[in-house]
Structure 1
Amino acid sequence: MHDPSVLLFAVPVLKLDIWHDEPGGHDATVVCGHPPQRILRRLAWALRHVRHLHFRWWRYLNVKRWIVDRCEGCGQRFRWKEARHSYQSSERAVWHDPCMSLRHVRGQLDDLTGYVLATADSNARWRATYRLEQLENAAKGEVAS
């Protein structure tokens, strides 16, 4: 399925985006059609479709994320403009940089433990073997290819 949203207006000075959402979650431009290119006609079209519009004000979103977001690993708030790390999935979980590193190391340790105990699946065995080869090459002073 495609995105049901179309960017109608972007106001860079205000850091404001105005989007049109197709009713019923249909693909963009299926129900309401394409918005006109000329600015006055586009404005009139937007006024006719005012119930389908939503606004994204980036300054508000930045403050809201700063207030609301908590690290999934430690539960602490983020400092202003501190980097948030997440996975490209539908989950909204975010982590501090050290917490994401700990999560990564924990995953590696879980893979290696499963490998040693012979309980790892084929993916975990491959990751453990690859990691052990990296460690051996690092001990020899070789660069992994």
Structure 2
Amino acid sequence: MNDKNTLNPLPVMSEDDLVRWIESQSEQLHAQARMLVDDYWRQLKSRHQKFGTTEPGRIGVRIRRRESSFSFSIEWYRMATLRQNGQNKPIAQYLKKGQGYRYPLQRILKGEPDWEVALVEELENEFAAMRKQIDCLGKIRDAFANYRKAKQ
């Protein structure tokens, strides 16, 4: 029996291939996150139309892109209004994520309607997994950049 036939050689990847792979993985994660964020806003709008101001949701979510590093962040915030010159102006109060990849939902969602709590908790589970993957891709990117510097 020939050992060459039983071994599966790893595909050869150039440095440019690795950069494209990191970018591709980041783009796929961004597209998934964008779809979830858009769905969140559709559901929030639907609830507001259905229940009006009787059960308002005040938690918002957004994606913040970092073009230069193939990265992005997924951030929760509380929507509020500020009275200025006799008019109410919407403002966003960003919530602190804290340690790790998850937001501390018990504190953030205290006093929010049950439907919003369930929706945010469901999405945060998916977002936490995405944040971990984004972090891993960033570590690969940084390690590769350090490797290139050391090689020169």
TM range (shorter): under 0.3
Larger helix percent? 2
Pair member with larger Rg: 1
Could you state the TM-score of these two structures normalised by the residue count of structure 2? 0.23
More strand by share: 2
